[in-house]
Structure 1
C-alpha cells in the first residue's frame, strides 16, 4: 500500500531510529604512494595521497576509491534512512512548490522567475507592461496558474532533461527586447556556454561560445555581445571579447586581456545605461574601464590600479559615484567624479568615511541614493535625498538581515529592499522615499511554519584576546536554557564574506527537535567592518579558528548547550575552519559537517595551475615565501592531523568542483582514517555529477541536506520525533 507524503512522514516520525553504530561496514583503506611537495626555498613535505589528484577525473583507481567511500557512506547511513526521508519530507513540505519571484520592470517588460509544482528548475519569463499590470497583480496571476500573456524566456526544466547537473548562470535581453543571450553549465564546473534566442520567433541561433564565465552585456546595436573568456587550465577570467551575432565565433574580437592572474574580471552596464564597464579586482586592488554603450570601441581607465586601493563605480546623473577605501577610508566612503574622469585626482568626497560604519553597497536614483551599510554587526539601509536630508529604514528584531533588492529603474520613487531574520522569512518591501509609504510586495511562503514559536537573539562572546564576537541565535521558545540542549553552530570566516542571520527553512527541522542554532560572526568575515576581515586573514588567520572555538565555549558556559552535544558546520573556506577546529579543539564537538572543504591549504596554494590559487595570495599568503609557508602550514587541516580522537564527521564534495578540487577532502579523509584514535564515524560523500554548489535543482540539494542533518541528529542523541 502506498502512503501519501504527510502520512508517510507521520509514520516515520514515530519509528525508532537505529544508531549509526549499528553499521557493520568497514571504511575504505586507500593505498599510500610516496610523493614529495617542495617549495622554491627548499622546504618539502611528504604527501602519500597526492596520487588521488586527477585533473581529467578519469583515473580508475581514484574513481574506485571515491565509489568505495560512497558505498561505505551508504552502509553507514542506511539505518538512518527513515530519519533522512522524514527530514526531507519536512523540508520539502515547507516549500510552496508553485512559487514565483517578485517581478521587476525594465524597458516596458516585467521580469520574474517561477517554479511549477514538483519540478526542480525555474521558468524565467516576462510580461508586457500595461494598464493594471504591476508586481502584485503578476504574482497573483502566477499563483492562480494564469500565464496568459506570459512570454517564456527559458524553461530550465526542459533544458535540464536527461542531465545529471544543469544550471543557467545568467541571461540578458538585448536593449530592443528582441534577443536573449544566456550562459549554461551542464557539468557543475562553472565553465559556461553562451547561446542565443530570437524572442519573437523562439528560434535558437546556431552559434555558441564555450569556456566563458556567466557574465554577459549587450551593446546598444542589439547585435554585439561582450563576454568574459576563461583560461582553460586555471579557469581564471582573463579576456573580454565581443561577438557579433551571426558571425563566426572564431572571429570574435579581443577587447581586453588581464595579465595579472591575481585579478578577477567582470563586465556590466552603468546605472544610466550610458557605459559598458570592465571591472577587475584582486583582494587588495581594483580597476575599472568604461566605453560608451552606443559605440564601445575604446575603453578608458577610470583610475589606474594601486595596491591597497579598492573601488567600484557607477554612472548616473552626469557623474561617476565611486565607493572606495582610498586615503585611509578603511570602511569605505563615497566620492564623485566627472564623466570623463581618468584619475583619482578628479575624485571629490561626498559621503565621508566613518570608522564605525562600513559602506557595503549603494544604488543611484534620480532624486536620491540608497546606501547599504553595516554598524554594530548588523545591516541597515540609509536613504540620502537630493536636498541633503536622510533617513534609515527601520528594523524590529535584535538580529536580522537587510539589504537593497532589485531596483531596475532609476527614475522610480520606490526603493525596494529585502528583510529577513532567523525567525522571519525573506520579505521584499517597497518604500516611497517621498511619502514614506511602505508596502510589502512578498514574503517567502513557508507552509506549516509559525514564527511565534521561536525566538531569535544576538549575544556577544568574549574571544580569548578580549575581542567581543557577535553571535546570532534561534531556538524554540520551550527549549530550556539549562545546559542540556544540543547546539548546531555555523560559520564561514573568510574573504570578507558576511554570514547574516537570514531565515533558513530547513533549519526549522532542527529547531523543532530542540536544537539551538547559532551563527558565529567570526573574524575573517566583514560583519563588523573591514578591520574584522583584516584581522582574520593572512598572518591573522588563527583568530578565525579561535573565535569559533571561543564562541562554542561561551555558549556552553551561558547554558545554551550541553558541552557533549555540540555540532559544527562550515563549507568551502568554512570547511577549512572545520578542519582547523577539529585539529585544535576536537573535544569541544561531538560532530562536524564539512562541505567542499578547502583543507590542503599549502599544497593548493603552491600550485598556480589550480583555479583560484594566484587570486588568493592576499587572502592566505603566498607559500613560496617562507614566512607565509610556515604560518599556513601551522593551521592547514591536512598537515596538522595527528593521533587523537576526532569528532564524528560528515564530509561532502563534488567530483567536478572547480573551486575546491575533490582531491582535497579525499586526501583529508584518507589521512584522518590513518591517525584518528577515536571510534566516531567519518562519512565521506562524493557527488559524482556536481561541482562546488552540490547537485542542481531545488529538491536534489535537500536530499543531501537531509542526509547530513540525520547524521548530526543521531550523533547528538536528538530524538527523531519533533
Structure 2
C-alpha cells in the first residue's frame, strides 16, 4: 500500500523549535530550549500539541483493539445502573444514582421517617437500581448540567438546614474553578444569583441566609473565605478571612455539631484554626493556636455537659500526632500555661490521622502496621482516669482499608467504608456502644457492624481468583520498603510473567488497599502488579513521610528502584517485562526513575507528571508553586535546596541513554501540573535519548488534572494507559 505524505509526517515525532531561555539562580545558569511551550494562547503551541496527539495516535494505533477490549472489560464488570447507600441528614435521605448509558450521577433525596433517636431510624430505605423511588426529589442531574459542555465536574454541594435550598458548584473547563448556583427546592427553580470563579468549599449558615465559599488567587491558591447573603448582589459579598502568606493553604468546614465554622490555614508542617461561633457571630473569628507556635493540628469544637471543649489532633511533642481534650477557655492563655488532657497518647508505631465527635463518642482515624483503621471511644470520662477503652470494629483480612463514610452528630451510628485489593467497597453502619447516661435505651444492634451494601462486580468476578501479599524490598540504605503484590492465584512462579510497579510517594499520601475494576484487566493478562509504598508517603508514619521530602526526596526514587529490583528477582516475572506507572507527584517519580535506571523498564506511563519541578517551584506566580516549598524546600532562597532539586528534577537530568517506551499523559486545562511540563520533557527525551523506543505525549484538550470528565471517558483513559503498558511488556492476551 502506498504511504501518503501526511502518513510520513506523522511517522516522525513532532520537533519543537528551540528558543533558548536562560534561568540563573545561586550562580548557576540553566538554558531551557522549550520554555516557549508555556505560551498557552500561542497558535504555534496549539499546533504543536495537536501534532503531538496525532503522532501519539499513529504510534499507538495498533493498541486500539486492546484498548477497546480493556474498556469493555471494565464496562462489563460494572453495574452501570447503580446507586450510593442513602445517608440521613436533617430528616432526609440523600443519595446519588447512576443510569446505564449516562456518564454522570444524579443527586437525589427522599423524606426520612422517625426522629433519628434509634438505630432503626438510621436503616437506609431500600432503593433498588432502576426502580422508581416514591417521593424522590432530584436535586441535580449531572447529565443535564453537562449537556453541550466540553467538561463537567461537581466541585461541592450544600443543603440549608431547613432543607429548602441547594447550593452546588460546577466546573465546565477542567481548571477546577467553579460557578456556584443555588436552587430553591420548593419550586425547583434556580435563584438569579450565581457566583463565578470560586474554589472548592461551600456551606450555608444555620439560618440558611448566608452562603460561605472560597476564592483562589491568580496562582490557584485558596486564600479568601467570602460570605454571600442571599438576595443581595454578588458584588457586595464580604471577605470573612483573607490569607496573605503565599505558602499557606486555606479552607473551611463546619464543626461536627455544626455550631462553628472552622477556617483552617496551614502547610505540611504547621497550621492555624479560626472559629466562628454561629451563636455569637459578633465575636468574630477566634484563633485557637497561632501558627507562630509551629504546631500542626486539627481542631474539633463541641459542647459537652454544658462546657465548650475542643478535641485537638496535634504534633506537639508527638511526631506521629496524639489527641488532647482542652477546655475552650484555655486558648486565651499563653500556650505554656494551657492545660491539655491526653486522650490518645503518642506512639511510635501508630500514626493518628484525625478525630471527630458525635454526641456520645469520639471517632479516631489512625494507621497501624500500614493499615488505616477506625476506633471509637465514649465521650463520658474522656481525658480522665475513667476514660473507657477504645473499640475497633474488626475485619478478617490482613490487608484492608477502613475509612469514615460520614456521620451525623446526633446519630447512634457512624458510616464506615471498607475495602481491600480484592474486596469491592462495602458500606457499613457501625452502631455505637452507648454508655453515657441519658442516651437512648440499649438495643441489640449496639457495637454491631451493619452491612448496608457491597459494590456489585459483574462478569463472573471471584475474589478467590486473586491474591494480595505484603512483601518487603530493601533500599540502598538498608531501609525495608513495604510492597503490596497483587496477582492471579493461578499464576505460575516460573519467572516468565510480566510486571508493573506503581508508586506515588509524596505529601504523606498513602496508597492503601482498595478495590479497582480496571486493574483486573492487567491481572487477568498475567501481570504481577506491585504497589511500592515508598518513602514520602504516609504508610509507615510521619517519619516515613519526612524521610522522603525536601533534602531526603531522593529516597523516594531509590525506594522505587529497590521495589523494581525485588520484583525482577522475585521469581514471578521476566526482568525484561517490567513496566512502571505513576501520576502527578508520582509522575515526577516516573521521570526520576527513568533517569536513574532506564534499563530496568520496558515502558513507563507518567500521568500528569510533575517533571519540571524546579522551574515551577522557582516561580511563585505559577499555580501552587509557593505552597510546594514545605514539600520540596524553597530553591529560591536556599542554594542547597536548589542544587538538590537540580540533581533530580527529571527535565533537567535527561541524559544520553536508551530510554524505554514512555507515555506522558496530560490535560490542556490542568491547573495542578501544567501541560507544559510533560510537553517540554518529551521534547528533551527525544532529543537526547540514544534508544529507538517511541516517546509520546497524550493530551486531553478538554480535561483537567484527572483527565476528561464522565465515567466512560475515565474508563477510556485507564484503558489507554493499561494498553500502552500491556503492549510494551507483552501482556496483551487474557490467560
TM-score (norm 1): 0.94
Kindly report which structure 2 residues correspond to 1:340-489, keeping only aligned pairs within 5 A, or say none. Answer: 340=329, 341-342=331-332, 344=335, 345-385=338-378, 386=380, 388-407=388-407, 409-434=408-433, 435-448=446-459, 449-489=461-501
Task: Report if aligned partners of 2:260, 2:275 keep a CA contact under 8 Å in 1.
Answer: yes
- Inter-partner Cα distance in structure 2 for 1:273 and 1:322: 17
- Inter-partner Cα distance in structure 2 for 1:536 and 1:342: 37
Correspondence 1:51 to 2:44:
no
Instruction: State the superposition RMSD in angstroms.
Output: 1.7
Report the alpha carbon displacement of residue 135 of structure 1 after superposing the two structures with TM: 6.9
Determine the structure 1 residue equivalent to 2:437.
none
Encode CA deviations 1:315-337: one digit per residue, 9 max, x unaligned. Answer: 223311010001x2000011112
Task: Report if aligned partners of 1:225, 1:242 keep a CA contact under 8 Å in 2.
Answer: yes
Task: Report if aligned partners of 1:566, 1:590 keep a CA contact under 8 Å in 2.
Answer: yes
Kindly report which structure 2 residues correspond to 1:72-471, keeping only aligned pairs within 5 A, or say none. Answer: 72-130=55-113, 138=125, 140-231=126-217, 233-297=218-282, 298-306=284-292, 308-316=294-302, 317=304, 318-326=308-316, 328-340=317-329, 341-342=331-332, 344=335, 345-385=338-378, 386=380, 388-407=388-407, 409-434=408-433, 435-448=446-459, 449-471=461-483
Report the alpha carbon displacement of residue 24 of structure 1 after superposing the two structures with TM: 7.7
Deviates more, 1:531-540 or 1:468-477: 468-477
1:204 is paired with a residue whose SS is strand
- Inter-partner Cα distance in structure 2 for 1:62 and 1:75: 20
- Inter-partner Cα distance in structure 2 for 1:111 and 1:587: 52
Deviates more, 1:513-522 or 1:411-420: 411-420
Report the alpha carbon displacement of residue 117 of structure 1 after superposing the two structures with TM: 1.0
Q: 1:619 aligns with which of 628, 631, 636?
A: 631
Given the superposition, is the C-alpha separation of residues 98 and 134 from structure 1 closer, same or farther in structure 2, using an over 3 Å criterion?
farther
TM-score (norm 2): 0.92
1:692 is paired with a residue whose SS is coil
- Inter-partner Cα distance in structure 1 for 2:574 and 2:420: 25
Encode CA deviations 1:255-282: one digit per residue, 9 max, x unaligned. Answer: 1111111111111111111111111111
Report the alpha carbon displacement of residue 23 of structure 1 after superposing the two structures with TM: 12
Report the alpha carbon displacement of residue 348 of structure 1 after superposing the two structures with TM: 2.9
Determine the structure 2 residue equivalent to 1:659.
672
Task: Report if aligned partners of 2:99, 2:130 keep a CA contact under 8 Å in 1.
Answer: no
1:639 is paired with a residue whose SS is helix
- Inter-partner Cα distance in structure 1 for 2:69 and 2:133: 34
Kindly report which structure 2 residues correspond to 1:15-30, keeping only aligned pairs within 5 A, or say none. Answer: 25-30=11-16
- Inter-partner Cα distance in structure 1 for 2:9 and 2:84: 44
Determine the structure 2 residue equivalent to 1:706.
719
- Inter-partner Cα distance in structure 2 for 1:605 and 1:399: 37
- Inter-partner Cα distance in structure 1 for 2:355 and 2:468: 28
Given the superposition, is the C-alpha separation of residues 649 and 135 from structure 1 closer, same or farther in structure 2, using an over 3 Å criterion?
farther
Gaps of 5+ in 2: 1-7, 381-386, 434-445
- Inter-partner Cα distance in structure 1 for 2:188 and 2:447: 43
Report the alpha carbon displacement of residue 202 of structure 1 after superposing the two structures with TM: 1.0
Task: Report if aligned partners of 1:300, 1:342 keep a CA contact under 8 Å in 2.
Answer: no
- Inter-partner Cα distance in structure 2 for 1:284 and 1:376: 24
Report the alpha carbon displacement of residue 714 of structure 1 after superposing the two structures with TM: 1.0
1:289 is paired with a residue whose SS is strand
Report the alpha carbon displacement of residue 183 of structure 1 after superposing the two structures with TM: 1.2
Deviates more, 1:703-712 or 1:141-150: 141-150
2:11 is paired with a residue whose SS is coil
- Inter-partner Cα distance in structure 2 for 1:643 and 1:678: 9
2:291 is paired with a residue whose SS is coil
Q: 1:648 aligns with which of 619, 638, 661?
A: 661
Determine the structure 2 residue equivalent to 1:7.
none
